[in-house]
Every structure is written in C-alpha cells, then in structure tokens.
C-alpha cells in the first residue's frame, strides 16, 4: 500500500502531465501550433501564460483567448520473455482561458486559467503490472492572476501568483501473491484525494532591442502540493487478512521551470521563434508518505533535470489567414530502473501546426494540432516492495511504445 500511495502522488505531481503521465504542453492554440514557443512572442492573451511581461505589448485594450483540445493517448506494452502484452487508450480534454486588460500605457493586468493535469491511464484490471497500477485519473486547474509593467520603450517586467487545485484517483492490486485474494479475485486498493491546493508564482521579463527582435525569460516556481487525509479503500481482501481503510498525508514538490527564448520578425508576414526550457526534476529524489497509523514510507525516484528545445514559425498570408508550424524535443527525467507504468514516458518529439481564420478585426478562430512521438524504450521499475511481506518485488519491465495526437480549437477576441 505504501508503494501504491507514493506512485499515486508522483503521478499527481507531474507539472504538465496528461494521459499516460506524458509531458504534453497544451496551454494555447496559437502557441501550441508554433511548437509551444511563446516566451518571446506577443500574439494574443496567451502570453499571460508563456510570459506575463509581454501582456503590456498587446495592441488592443482588452484581449481574450479561449481554447480546448481533445487529447488521444495510446501506450503499448510488451514483454517478449513472458509473452505479456497490454495497452492503454485514453482521451483527455485540456482547456485554457486567458484575458488581459490594459489599464494604461505602462500597466496591463491579466488572468490565466488552464489545466496542466488531466485524463487518465487505464491498463486492464489485474494485468501483469497491476501491483504497480491498474488505472489513474488526474484532474487539476491552475488560476494565475498577473500584471505586466512597461519599463521604458524596450523593456518590461511581469509576474503573478499561481493557485493550484487538484485531485487524484488510483487503483492497483495490493500484492503479487495469489494467496492475497478473495475467491480468486486479487485484492486491490483505490486511493482518492480531493481538494489538494497549493500556491506558487511566475515572473519574467521581455526585452525588445529592435523592432524585429524580442528576447524573453520566464520562471515558474516550485510548488508544494500538500495532500492531507486522502482515502485508501480496500477491495476483495481475504477474510483471514482483513484490511482497515486508512488515510495518508504527503508533501509533493512540483519542479521549478526556467524558459528563455527569442523571436525574430523576418518580414512583415514571417515570424520565427525559439524557446529553451529547463525543468528542475531533480527535486524528485524520493517521496515521503505518512500514513494514518503513524508509519512513514520513503520511495526513491532519482529523477534528473531535463531540457526541452522548441522552434516555431508563423506566416501571415493575408488579412484572413495566418499559418503556423513547429517542432520540439522533450527529454525524459526518468532514469534507468525507475521506469514505472503509471508514467510510461521517454524522450519525445512533438510536431505541431495550425492556422487562424480572422473573421473580422475583433474575432479570430484558431486551429491547432499536435503529434507527439515517444522513443520506443525497453526499461523497468526495480524498486517495488510487497506491502504485506515487506520483501522486494521482482523487477517489472518490458518495451513501451507511446504516441499522442491532439487537435484543438479556440477563439481570440479583442477590442
């Protein structure tokens, strides 16, 4: 049970996790279409997320961007030694709402509401890796008010607080021991925690040395998610070993992120952008979980800091159509021997595109798509312990193949 709790909490703590524990960044239709670049791009109210310092450069007094995606994730698992196969197919619906309002020539206020968590992993009940996870359902909403201050003609600062609210539900089998069952049904436990909240902040700057070049930096702080009095509910436990439901507490660090980048207006119609992101995943050395019975569990993760490299382009064909495309490479923080099926992700390559149809001077309709291909990986998780006997479980591993496809639509409005 202790291992289960820590796995559940780790899944909740992935700062941009969606279906399958993937790091899928979907925080705006325009910027997603440009490879999810944006720290030095001023396109719409989406800049409230990517770099609040850029809000003050928006031309219109009021700007609104609303968007949503359908996220289709597929993970296939195979262990050829034992002829094991499994598959997880999931659908998520991340969304975002951004609004900015120019108070005067040097001060703009903004509000960002977005979903950096969502969807689920759904392996078959009682599959070969059921002692690690059967299914996970993650949900969270972030609310970020912010301000942007113009410091002269070429430089601006911006930032604000982040309020995070989330929940998690996970089910897994208690043990690999076939004796721990009820009439042949393996005992399992469902972990449920709601109303988990935390605070953080974001801050950045934007520098425009020329009319064509923008340089940006944005920092998002580490956020500590404090799970308190979550429920652990047991099912199909044998009569000779009944287990009482209990609670758990845990403090969960969400890693800090630093993004720097630039954009260059090659011509009046053509824009190029590049972002570099560094995520401080080394915060996940281990997870401490305290249980209602007073015991504590320490679970190693040994994650490493990783980088994401993003490039994007935008071409304004005419007053009605603007086209976008992008690419990014995202490193995985998971090291060998720590590859667990509740977060089956490896290094990935994202291919993006989209367009805007400008209905009139105030209203535009945005379309985007993302195809995310994860490198095939043969790896294992080697740190699982049987919660009943306290003995180490055999290493669990195999080959994972993962892909994500996500079309999106949104509107941009301003006056």
Domains of the chain and CATH, by start: 2-414 (2.40.160.60)
CB 173 within 8 A of CB 154: no
Give the tokens for residue 189: 């436990």
Task: Encode burial over 110-123: b for 16+ CB neighbours within 10 A, e otherwise.
Answer: bbbbbbbbbbbbbb
Per-residue model confidence as pLDDT tens digits over 112-132: 999 876 557 889 999 999 988
Phi/psi of residue 258, nearest 5 degrees: -125, 125
CB 38 within 8 A of CB 206: no
DSSP state of 20: G
Tell whether the model's pLDDT for residue 19 goes beyond 60. no
CB atoms within 10 A of CB 152: 7
Q: How far is CA 281 from CA 256, 264, 365, 380, in A?
A: 8, 30, 36, 19
Give the tokens for residue 96: 């975002």
- Residue 361 CB contacts under 8 Å (≥ 6 apart), including other chains: none
Question: Lowest-confidence range among 159-163, 230-234, 393-397?
Answer: 230-234
- Residue 333 CB contacts under 8 Å (≥ 6 apart), including other chains: 279, 281, 284, 303, 304, 305, 306
Per-residue model confidence as pLDDT tens digits over 203-241: 999 999 999 999 999 999 998 888 889 988 888 888 777
Give the tokens for residue 53: 């310092």
CB 158 within 8 A of CB 145: no
pLDDT of residue 274: 98
The HSE-up count of residue 100 (CA atoms within 13 Å, CB side) is 32
The HSE-up count of residue 342 (CA atoms within 13 Å, CB side) is 28
As separate numbers, helices (DSSP H) first and strands (DSSP E) second, the chain gives 3, 24
Provide mean pLDDT across the span 8-18.
Answer: 37
pTM of the predicted protein model? 0.90
Provide mean pLDDT across the span 313-335.
Answer: 95
pLDDT classification of 100: cutoffs 50, 70, 90: very high
Give the Cα separation of 366 and 358 in Å (integer). 9
């Amino acid at each position: 049970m202790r291992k289960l709790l820590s796995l559940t909490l780790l899944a909740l703590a992935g700062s941009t996790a969606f279906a399958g524990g993937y790091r899928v960044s979907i925080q705006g239709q325009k910027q997603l279409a440009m490879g999810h670049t944006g720290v030095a791009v001023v396109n719409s109210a989406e800049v409230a997320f990517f770099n609040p310092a850029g809000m003050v450069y928006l031309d219109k007094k009021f700007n609104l961007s609303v968007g949503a995606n359908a996220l289709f994730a597929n993970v296939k698992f195979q262990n050829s030694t034992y002829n094991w196969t499994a598959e997880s197919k999931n659908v998520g619906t991340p969304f975002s709402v951004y609004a900015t309002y120019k108070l005067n020539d040097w001060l703009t206020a903004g509000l960002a509401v977005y979903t950096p968590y969502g969807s689920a992993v759904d392996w078959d009940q009682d599959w070969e890796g059921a002692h690690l996870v059967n299914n996970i359902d993650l949900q969270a909403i972030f609310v970020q008010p912010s301000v942007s201050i113009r410091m002269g003609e070429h430089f601006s600062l911006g930032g604000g607080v982040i309020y995070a609210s989330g929940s998690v539900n996970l089910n897994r089998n208690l043990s690999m021991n076939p004796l721990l069952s009820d009439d042949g049904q393996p005992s399992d436990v469902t972990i449920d925690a709601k109303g988990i909240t935390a605070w953080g902040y974001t801050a950045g700057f934007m520098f425009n040395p020329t009319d064509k070049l923008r340089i940006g930096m944005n920092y998002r702080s580490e956020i500590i998610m404090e799970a308190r009095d979550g429920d652990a509910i047991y099912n199909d436990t044998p009569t000779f070993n009944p287990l009482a439901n209990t609670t758990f507490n845990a403090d969960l660090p969400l890693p800090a992120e630093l993004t720097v980048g630039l954009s260059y207006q090659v011509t009046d119609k053509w824009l190029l952008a590049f972002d570099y992101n560094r995520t401080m995943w080394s915060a996940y050395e281990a997870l401490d979980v305290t249980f209602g019975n007073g015991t504590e569990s320490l679970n190693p993760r040994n994650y490493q800091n990783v980088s994401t490299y993003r490039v994007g382009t935008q071409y304004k064909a005419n007053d009605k159509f603007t086209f976008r495309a992008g690419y990014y490479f995202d490193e995985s923080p998971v090291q060998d021997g720590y590859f667990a099926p509740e977060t089956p992700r490896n290094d990935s390559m994202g291919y993006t595109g989209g367009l805007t149809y400008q209905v009139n001077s105030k209203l535009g309709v945005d379309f985007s798509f993302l195809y995310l291909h994860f490198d095939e990986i043969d790896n294992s998780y080697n740190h699982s312990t049987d919660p009943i006997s306290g003995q180490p479980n055999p290493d669990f591993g195999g080959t994972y193949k993962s892909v994500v496809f996500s079309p999106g639509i949104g509107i941009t409005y301003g006056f």
